[in-house]
Amino acid sequence: MTDVAKAYGGVRALRGVSFDVHAGEVHALVGENGAGKSTLIAVVSGARQPDAGAIEIDGREVGVLDPVSSRALGIAVIHQHPALFPDLTVAENVALGAERGHPLRPIDWKERRARASALLQRLGARVDPDARVGDLGMAEQQLVEIARALGAHARVVFLDEPTAALPEEEAGRVLDVVRQLQRERCAVVYVSHRLEEVLAIADRVTVLRDGEVVATLDAKKTSRGEIVRLMVGRPLEDAYPRRTTAPGEVLLDVRGLSSADLGLRDVSISVRAGEIVGLFGLVGAGRTELARVLFGLEPADRAGVMLRGRPFDPRSPAEAIAAGIAYVPEDRPRHGVLLDMDVGTNIALAVQDRLARRGLIDGAREDALAERLVERLDIRTDSIRRLVRTLSGGNQQKVALARWLAAEPAVLVLDEPTQGIDVGARAEIYALLAELVENGLGVLAISSDLAEVMGLCDRVAVMQGGTVVAVRERGAVEREEILALALGHGVAGALHGA
């Protein structure tokens, strides 16, 4: 594609981007949120029409693309959240991309199933063709979607953050399949925030910033540092701020928490004032479940939780908040913020009773608080009346955090605080957390990003199979050990670390 430009209103999302990808090549596309990656994908998939520029396939210029013609030309886009039909089987989902039968011609179920399993096998994806897609894990769903694209004879495959929601070892399965696509002479455009992954899989890396191509690099000859520098446009100092204060009293003390329904058994963990405790583990290890119990969203059979020295067994988030716990959930676009309410209301809602005067909402006081927090957290919005939906992911996360700053909790539980957030906003969130912790907050941060856990946290607790298997101090542990513990190879890993 040459000189492609696209503007949304006054915002120029793409300013003359030129970009090419060859058959059998994996070309990675990286950039901060808002750099133009999504717009680029929208243009090639036909979801948006470019204002200028040309797109060529096999040296032939294609006209205006719409979703149907884009697909007919062999372009497939696979999004982070697979667009599959959860109630249909794997085979049916794969077939939907490939079959071009007459709507009234009876379906040949046997052939459909055979074709689906052939495609999956070709990709080396071990997925049962008769499984219901809704029962599959996220990684398997990604594989099904890739198989579907292949079945539709896709020759240019765009993968948009395919591994963002996956833990490391499952991401590996997706990467294997991407390599297989490459061997099949597909042209693969790979969009990801995970730079290690990009460097491992890509032949070339193109960095986008503010809607422009900053550089196209040979993946073999570049480094993480160089890419990050190009992405943010300035050298990024250590993303993880140094903290000096020693941890204080124990704020949250969990001893032997169990819940048969949630698969939690005998969980023990503590968080002190002034420290960040990381909670690492694979998906399904019970981390989010633990957070939900602590926040009163799920009941525990046996809680055994002390919060600020008092027994604590909340039965609703309202009770948990009153006792001094705040929770920023993982699925931010859906539950962390109210997308269709404005920034100011989102910030004020959690503390509206406290800010009210004689039982009435005090708009001026709420707005003053919101303005103050918007400034302090550097939330980029032109007004506190702007709907949260229109902000970028990083700014939405800051709104979620701002709300809890207003509530002044004792312990803040964060679930994947920087998932899907660009490098720049990430550093800002880390700095903010550091500042809060310096002021005596205790933070329990659930993260699947090992680098983040290692860099940000004072202590790392590893969960595996519904319980905390180990707690390690920062600096006294290696990546490999943490990963081994999370995978359940605890003994060997621990020996290796010691």
Partner 1 sequence: MYAALLALLAVAAPGFFTAGNLRDLVVGHAAMLVAATGMTLVILAGEIDVSIGSQLAVCGVLAGLAAKAGMPMPLVALAVVVAGAVLGGVNGALVAGLRIPSIVATLATMLVLRDGLRWATGGAWVQGLPQHFQWFGLSQRGGELAITAASLAVFGIVAWAARALPAGRAVYATGADAESAELLGLRPRRVTFWVFVGMGALSGLAALLGAVRFSEVQTNAGIGLEMAVIAVVVVGGASIRGGRGTLTGTLAGVVLLGTVGTALTFLQVSAYWERALQGAILIAAVAVERTSKRRVRAT
CA distance 50 to 43: 6
Which residues share a beta bridge with 325? 411
Tell me: does residue 322 bind partner 1 (CB under 8 A): yes
CA distance 445 to 165: 16
Choose, by CB under 8 A, the member of 49, 316, 383, 439 that binds partner 1.
316
Q: Least distance from C-beta 318 to partner 1, angstroms?
A: 5
Choose, by CB under 8 A, the member of 47, 232, 283, 297 that binds partner 1.
297
- Our CB check for partner 1 shows the closer of 272 and 332 to be 332
Asked if residues 429 and 394 have their Cβ atoms less than 8 Å apart, the reply is yes
Nearest to 288 by CA among 414, 135, 471, 465: 414
Subset of residues 244 to 273 that bind partner 1, contact rule: CB under 8 A: none
Choose, by CB under 8 A, the member of 175, 250, 339, 368 that binds partner 1.
339
Tell me: does residue 417 bind partner 1 (CB under 8 A): no
Sheet of 264-272, strand order: 264-272, 250-259, 305-307, 310-311
Q: Least distance from C-beta 352 to partner 1, angstroms?
A: 5
Tell me: does residue 13 bind partner 1 (CB under 8 A): no
CA distance 77 to 67: 10
Q: Least distance from C-beta 432 to partner 1, angstroms?
A: 20
Cα torsion 400, 402, 405, 406: sign: negative
- Our CB check for partner 1 shows the closer of 114 and 322 to be 322
Asked if residues 79 and 160 have their Cβ atoms less than 8 Å apart, the reply is yes
Choose, by CB under 8 A, the member of 23, 107, 361, 491 that binds partner 1.
361
CA distance 93 to 116: 9
Tell me: does residue 327 bind partner 1 (CB under 8 A): yes
Tell me: does residue 336 bind partner 1 (CB under 8 A): yes
- Our CB check for partner 1 shows the closer of 200 and 338 to be 338
Q: Least distance from C-beta 466 to partner 1, angstroms?
A: 23
Binding region for partner 1 (CB under 8 A) out of 189-197, 200-208, 211-219, 359-367: 359-367
- Our CB check for partner 1 shows the closer of 165 and 320 to be 320
Q: Least distance from C-beta 238 to partner 1, angstroms?
A: 32
Q: In the stretch 364-403, what mask flags binding to partner 1 with x, by CB under 8 A?
A: ---------------------------------------x
Secondary structure of residue 473 in the 3-state scheme: strand
Choose, by CB under 8 A, the member of 41, 350, 433, 454 that binds partner 1.
350
Q: Least distance from C-beta 365 to partner 1, angstroms?
A: 13
Asked if residues 423 and 32 have their Cβ atoms less than 8 Å apart, the reply is yes
Secondary structure of residue 380 in the 3-state scheme: coil
> Both tokens of residue 250?
């124990």
The H helix count followed by the E strand count for the chain is: 18, 20
Choose, by CB under 8 A, the member of 58, 61, 237, 353 that binds partner 1.
353
Choose, by CB under 8 A, the member of 178, 198, 202, 337 that binds partner 1.
337
Q: What are phi and psi of 215, to 5 degrees?
A: -165, 150
Tell me: does residue 102 bind partner 1 (CB under 8 A): no
Binding region for partner 1 (CB under 8 A) out of 217-225, 299-307, 353-361, 472-480: 353-361
Tell me: does residue 234 bind partner 1 (CB under 8 A): no
Q: Can you point out the beta strands (E) in 368-486?
A: 411-415, 442-446, 459-464, 467-473
How far is C-alpha 211 from the chain's CA centre?
22
Choose, by CB under 8 A, the member of 240, 280, 295, 430 that binds partner 1.
295
Tell me: does residue 9 bind partner 1 (CB under 8 A): yes
> Both tokens of residue 432?
């903010």
Nearest to 464 by CA among 480, 482, 439, 479: 482
Q: Are β-strands 276-281 and 264-272 bridged in parallel, bridged antiparallel, or unpaired?
A: unpaired
- Our CB check for partner 1 shows the closer of 58 and 340 to be 340
Tell me: does residue 341 bind partner 1 (CB under 8 A): yes
- Our CB check for partner 1 shows the closer of 121 and 390 to be 390
Tell me: does residue 338 bind partner 1 (CB under 8 A): yes
CA distance 209 to 37: 9
- Our CB check for partner 1 shows the closer of 119 and 411 to be 411
Choose, by CB under 8 A, the member of 46, 211, 274, 329 that binds partner 1.
329
Choose, by CB under 8 A, the member of 127, 307, 321, 483 that binds partner 1.
321
Residue 252 contacts by C-beta under 8 Å, 6 or more apart in sequence? 269, 270, 271, 294, 305, 306, 307, 325, 410, 411, 442, 444
Tell me: does residue 356 bind partner 1 (CB under 8 A): yes
Q: Least distance from C-beta 208 to partner 1, angstroms?
A: 23
Nearest to 146 by CA among 99, 170, 179: 179
Kind and range of the H or E run holding 438 = helix 423-438
Tell me: does residue 334 bind partner 1 (CB under 8 A): yes
Residues that bind partner 1 (CB under 8 A): 8-9, 295, 297, 316-318, 320-322, 327, 329, 334-341, 345, 349-350, 352-353, 356, 359-361, 403, 407
